[in-house]
Amino acid sequence: MFKNRELSSPEKLFVIVLCICLGFLCNALIIGTLYQYMQGEIAYKILLVLSSVLTFGLPAVAAAALIGSEKNPFAHIRLTSNVKISKFLIVIVFMLSIIPAIEFVASLNASYSFPESIKGIEEYLRSIDASAMEATQRALAGSDVGMFVLNLVALAITPAICEEMFFRGVMQKFFVDNIRNKHIAILLTAFIFSAIHMQFSGLLPRFILGAVLGYLFYSSGSLWLSIVAHATNNALVVIAAFIFGAEVSASPDLSAYANPWWICAIVAGLAIAFFAGRKIFHTKK
């Protein structure tokens, strides 16, 4: 769009990295400045929306405009592709059905303990997790319907759109185009997606989520399926906080999964996910 020649693969990768770095920089400067003047819970939600747009949304559009061959950057990230409504419904069922298994993986991740020789690293990572948990609890605050809607917009819808635009629409598309093994490309994107959130306790479940979103995008050729799946995953936390309170607790202890109800929920959920997955996952021709 803004170039006279096709960029090489190294140049495209440089543009992608540059855009995300500038996004983080702009987010730090702008949100950091506005935070001093915008007080209150509603203002905080607005800043969360703006943060997602600055960190991932605008860098995705900028990168797509610079490296894409299409005149419309949204076509490059496959936001213009159409998907049947029935597939959206199946994707929502699929995401709901894998939640018990994801919770089990999250408990495994949270229960992992570092060797004594590197305990200092674990303590540092745990402190980052604690800070992230406090921020999440504040973001989920609000007991009325209006705040619930704002939470859905700020924590579920906007992050899903902006993050999928960058990670799947730009980054994964670049890796798929330049790495012979498409599975490696999808999993590499999922790992970066998980690692960039800087939360050790959620590293493994977020990696699995990223892989699911990646295969959704690759199999459908449309970013909308992964956006709906991502938004569904985030919305579940918002809905749970609205119903049960803003306190966000850690995943259940591993011993809790010995309960027959948890075992049944995981097995039944995976069975439903298998049949739903057969309807939505297929290799794009």
Q: What is the mean pLDDT of residues 106-117?
A: 80
CA 37 to chain CA mean position, Å: 29
Mean pLDDT estimate for the chain: 87
Q: How confident is the model at residue 5 (pLDDT cuts 50, 70, 90)?
A: low
pLDDT at residue 250 tops 60: no
pLDDT at residue 284 tops 60: no
Angle at 19 between CA 18 and CA 25, to 5 degrees: 90
Helix (H) or strand (E) run with residue 252 in it: none
CA dist., res. 178 & res. 42, Å (int): 43
pLDDT in tens, 136-189: 777 787 778 888 999 999 999 999 999 999 999 999 999 999 998 999 999 999
Q: How confident is the model at residue 90 (pLDDT cuts 50, 70, 90)?
A: very high
pLDDT at residue 3 tops 70: no
| pLDDT of the residue at 58 | 96
pLDDT at residue 238 tops 70: yes
Angle at 104 between CA 155 and CA 167, to 5 degrees: 40
Q: How confident is the model at residue 259 (pLDDT cuts 50, 70, 90)?
A: confident
Q: For 279, list phi and psi in degrees, rounded to 5.
A: -85, -25
Q: How confident is the model at residue 249 (pLDDT cuts 50, 70, 90)?
A: low
CA dist., res. 219 & res. 256, Å (int): 35
pLDDT at residue 7 tops 70: yes
Q: What is the mean pLDDT of residues 71-93?
A: 88
E strands, 90-244, are none
% of the chain exceeding 70 in pLDDT: 94
| pLDDT of the residue at 257 | 79
Residue 38: CB partners within 8 Å, gap ≥ 6? 44, 46, 47
| pLDDT of the residue at 278 | 87
What are the structural domain ranges in the chain? 82-280
| pLDDT of the residue at 142 | 73
| Neighbour-count burial of 223, counting CB atoms closer than 10 A to its CB (0-12 exposed, 13-18 middle, 19+ buried) | buried
pLDDT at residue 210 tops 80: yes
Angle at 23 between CA 18 and CA 27, to 5 degrees: 150
Contact between 202 and 109 (Cβ < 8 Å): yes
| pLDDT of the residue at 204 | 92
| pLDDT of the residue at 251 | 63
Q: How confident is the model at residue 115 (pLDDT cuts 50, 70, 90)?
A: confident
Q: What is the mean pLDDT of residues 220-227?
A: 92
Q: What is the mean pLDDT of residues 191-213?
A: 91
Intra-chain end-to-end CA distance of the chain, in Å: 27
pLDDT at residue 2 tops 50: no
DSSP string, 192-231: HHHHTT--GGGHHHHHHHHHHHHHHHHHHS-HHHHHHHHH
Which of 38-47, 68-77, 122-131, 228-237 is the least confident region? 122-131
Contact between 198 and 132 (Cβ < 8 Å): yes
Q: Count the neighbouring beta carbons within 10 Å of the beta carbon of residue 100.
A: 21
Closest C-alpha to 232, from 250, 208, 209:
209
**Would you state the structure tokens that stand for residue 28, as one six-digit string?**
């730090």
CA dist., res. 193 & res. 92, Å (int): 21
Whole-Å CA distances, 38 to 31, 35, 145? 10, 5, 22
- SS3 percent helix, strand, coil of the chain, rounded to 5, is 80, 0, 20
pLDDT at residue 1 tops 70: no
